[in-house]
A and B are shown apart, each in its own frame.
Chain A
């Protein structure tokens, strides 16, 4: 009898306390953002991204959170590796409360997006902002209709190349159609925009005269460059390379030796300061489309904010990490914006966040010279074309910010 009384008493206490603990949990008002980013591994340790992310978090913490919500970024190393990143995402999904973990905003490699597409888009339904510009995920073959919970930080590679093709069309002064050579890495990343590009090229009356693949570990690309030289191109577009890849500087230096006057144009990851460092003098005059503002553009309010915070946090940023630091801030601010619009909407849930993001228009703290963009296409559609200056070790803008969704209608 005594025992039964004890159990009944404990049951009553538990039932009474449950709503109270639940209320306490609500009043703490925490929103968590999963952030797998590369801090080590064979792909490279890009600590600038983590510093940027961290300082962005400190910035909002100093402001007392967002609309009374404490925002916690769950920054974790993904080693730029699909298997590791999937493990990180799965663990965070399992361990964090569903009502707190509302967003993933980080590296999210294309391979991860593919592997996790069913889980993220159909099972757990959590908005996920990725660094990927994959055409398959965000372009004509994917997009919100196929992957409703995936978001990207910039125009997909097809759009980036389309902007470059329009630049070529405008820049080409000869009466004959512009002759284009295309160089890409034999990876999913390198081949991703090819079919869209070929259709676009035909529409614009540009002629592809050479198509070459270069293995990312190649230390000699003379044969490919000779094939390109034989085709006598007016322009070269290269895509699918990162500055740290062995082949990137080898290509730039060899191309400059054999084809000194042919402009070379690249997509976002070819348009970074480390690429200038890699290519040395051969990088001078490179043209590229970038989705991010450059560190030296100090008249930009976003850059000023980032640099002020870097000083406050006493960051000693090497030249190569400045772009990564901006990228970290970019991700951090996108996450914060997502929290802002979601809490403003009143529906603080994963579904609420997705809807709020889709409806939002934003100027990204003034990054795009006052221009606002809509996130309806699940991509930040803004990009700009830059030209590399080796002497200044920087990319200088040669066009205003372009809204790819509008320009390429």
Chain B
């Protein structure tokens, strides 16, 4: 029974991690840069929604798209100000810029939102699943459900729309896309906007499990093992990586931590990452690259 309980909880959390990972994968595919400011993006997405839903009391179905739209605009602005000027430079430069960005955003968040947490209960219909001793509380079920919905919407956009096709083409080869007359600069802006939507949506479902504060950005660190296990450029890899991290964390909490290894739950995703990288250096679904040096 414990196993099923932990497995279910792990899968529900893992779906949210997967959504978070998807945001990073999209950016990496388009620019080969790793966004270290993922935690701050997550909190900013959460706060933009918070203002509309809890501050202005807009209905959930209106606040959600507007909030995520605002997050997209934020992502686009960040791209224009920090990433675009570095186009043509090595991807490492962009990655380093995101490190600095992370610090600036963290300080800005603390200065504007303060250090105290904000209540964050979406008040969605109760979907608690209770079968015998098994309980999956409503916020956890909603986290899983909303993550699946967002994941599907992003996939639909990427694989069933013209703009999605353009993004895929640019992600595959920027020079070739330029030859075909695709505005690669605009595509990069679009990718950052969509990635910020993914991360912001993950922020909303994760904040609903607890509260929203600038420290919620710590959850962003979970995205690192997620995408490295799944493969930095793999969309299905983000989902699988998220599920692996969620399940491994939950099972470790249930079976390993009671043996006295307290806090091991926080470490175990990185151990899994290490093992994965030994076996498959590009992650489970990552593209194997052969580079001449």
Docked-complex contact B135 and A280, CB < 8 angstroms: no
- B128, B210, B213: the one within 8 Å of A253 (CB): B210
Q: Is A217 an interface residue (CB 8 A)?
A: yes
* Contact A186 B128, CB 8 Å, known A226-B254, A253-B139, A278-B119: no
Q: Is A352 an interface residue (CB 8 A)?
A: no
Name A's interface SS: helix
Binds A, one of B80-88, B189-197, B258-266, B283-291: B258-266
* Contact A274 B210, CB 8 Å, known A222-B253, A223-B250: no
* Contact A278 B110, CB 8 Å, known A215-B263, A243-B116: no
Q: Is A318 an interface residue (CB 8 A)?
A: yes
Binds A, one of B28-36, B63-71, B91-99, B215-223: B215-223
Q: Mark A267-304, 1 if CB is under 8 A from B, else 0.
A: 00000001001111100000000000000000000000
Chain B residue numbers with a CB within 8 Å of A278 are: 116-117, 119, 210-211, 213
Docked-complex contact B137 and A258, CB < 8 angstroms: yes
Q: Kindly provide the distance from the CB of B202 to the nearest chain A CB, expressed in whole angstroms.
A: 11
Instruction: List CB contacts (< 8 Å) of A83-108 with chain B.
Output: none
Q: Is B150 an interface residue (CB 8 A)?
A: no
Q: Is B13 an interface residue (CB 8 A)?
A: yes
Please, how many angstroms separate the alpha-carbon atoms of A247 and B250 in the complex? 15
- A243, A249, A254, A257: the one within 8 Å of B128 (CB): A257
Docked-complex contact A226 and B5, CB < 8 angstroms: yes
How many residue pairs, one in A and one in B, have C-beta atoms under 8 Å apart?
123
Chain A residue numbers with a CB within 8 Å of B213 are: 244, 246, 278
Please, how many angstroms separate the alpha-carbon atoms of A292 and B130 in the complex? 41
Q: Is A321 an interface residue (CB 8 A)?
A: yes
Please, how many angstroms separate the alpha-carbon atoms of A175 and B140 in the complex? 37
Q: Is A44 an interface residue (CB 8 A)?
A: yes
Chain A residue numbers with a CB within 8 Å of B253 are: 220-224
Please, how many angstroms separate the alpha-carbon atoms of A222 and B114 in the complex? 28
Q: Mark A15-27, 1 if CB is under 8 A from B, else 0.
A: 0000000000000
Chain A residue numbers with a CB within 8 Å of B263 are: 186, 213, 215
Q: Kindly provide the distance from the CB of B288 to the nearest chain A CB, expressed in whole angstroms.
A: 32
Docked-complex contact B117 and A277, CB < 8 angstroms: yes
With both beta carbons as reference points, the residue of chain B lying nearest to A184 in the complex is identified as B262
Q: Is B9 an interface residue (CB 8 A)?
A: yes
Docked-complex contact A246 and B13, CB < 8 angstroms: no
Chain A residue numbers with a CB within 8 Å of B172 are: none
Please, how many angstroms separate the alpha-carbon atoms of A40 and B111 in the complex? 8
Please, how many angstroms separate the alpha-carbon atoms of A152 and B139 in the complex? 40
Docked-complex contact B119 and A220, CB < 8 angstroms: no
Please, how many angstroms separate the alpha-carbon atoms of A249 and B121 in the complex? 11
* Contact A215 B114, CB 8 Å, known A220-B249, A226-B254: no
* Contact A220 B262, CB 8 Å, known A257-B135, A321-B114, A321-B116: no
Q: Is A262 an interface residue (CB 8 A)?
A: no
Docked-complex contact B117 and A222, CB < 8 angstroms: no
Size of interface on A: residues with Cβ below 8 Å to B: 39
Q: Kindly provide the distance from the CB of B246 to the nearest chain A CB, expressed in whole angstroms.
A: 8
* Contact A46 B13, CB 8 Å, known A215-B266, A220-B209: no
Please, how many angstroms separate the alpha-carbon atoms of A40 and B263 in the complex? 27
Docked-complex contact A219 and B114, CB < 8 angstroms: no
Chain B residue numbers with a CB within 8 Å of A221 are: 253
* Contact A223 B121, CB 8 Å, known A246-B216, A274-B116, A277-B116: no
Docked-complex contact B6 and A246, CB < 8 angstroms: no
Q: Kindly provide the distance from the CB of B43 to the nearest chain A CB, expressed in whole angstroms.
A: 11
Q: Is B173 an interface residue (CB 8 A)?
A: no
Interface centre among B115, B214, B265 (most CB of A within 10 A): B115
Docked-complex contact A227 and B115, CB < 8 angstroms: no
Instruction: List CB contacts (< 8 Å) of A216-242 with chain B.
Output: 217-224, 226-227
Please, how many angstroms separate the alpha-carbon atoms of A247 and B222 in the complex? 15
Q: Is B206 an interface residue (CB 8 A)?
A: yes
* Contact A277 B115, CB 8 Å, known A224-B253, A257-B137: no
Please, how many angstroms separate the alpha-carbon atoms of A253 and B216 in the complex? 15
Please, how many angstroms separate the alpha-carbon atoms of A166 and B206 in the complex? 37
- A40, A47, A258: the one within 8 Å of B135 (CB): A258
Q: Kindly provide the distance from the CB of A97 to the nearest chain B CB, expressed in whole angstroms.
A: 35
Q: Is B118 an interface residue (CB 8 A)?
A: yes
Docked-complex contact B121 and A281, CB < 8 angstroms: yes
* Contact A254 B116, CB 8 Å, known A220-B209, A224-B253: no
Docked-complex contact A215 and B216, CB < 8 angstroms: no
Chain B residue numbers with a CB within 8 Å of A321 are: 114, 116
Chain B residue numbers with a CB within 8 Å of A257 are: 128, 135, 137-139
Q: Is B50 an interface residue (CB 8 A)?
A: no
Docked-complex contact A249 and B117, CB < 8 angstroms: yes
Q: Kindly provide the distance from the CB of A214 to the nearest chain B CB, expressed in whole angstroms.
A: 9
- A40, A213, A218, A277: the one within 8 Å of B211 (CB): A277
Please, how many angstroms separate the alpha-carbon atoms of A274 and B114 in the complex? 11
- What are 14 contact pairs spanning A and B, CB under 8 A? A40-B110, A45-B111, A218-B266, A219-B210, A219-B222, A220-B9, A220-B249, A220-B250, A223-B6, A223-B253, A246-B218, A253-B121, A257-B139, A280-B121
A-contacting residues of B (Cβ < 8 Å)?
2, 5-6, 9, 13, 107, 110-111, 114-121, 128, 135, 137-140, 206, 209-211, 213-216, 218-219, 222, 249-250, 253-254, 257-258, 262-263, 265-266
B-contacting residues of A (Cβ < 8 Å)?
40, 44-47, 186, 213, 215, 217-224, 226-227, 243-250, 253-254, 257-258, 274, 277-281, 318, 320-321
Q: A223-B265, A245-B215, A246-B218 are in contact. List 10 more A-B contacts (CB 8 A).
A: A45-B111, A46-B115, A219-B222, A244-B115, A244-B215, A249-B210, A277-B117, A278-B117, A278-B211, A318-B114
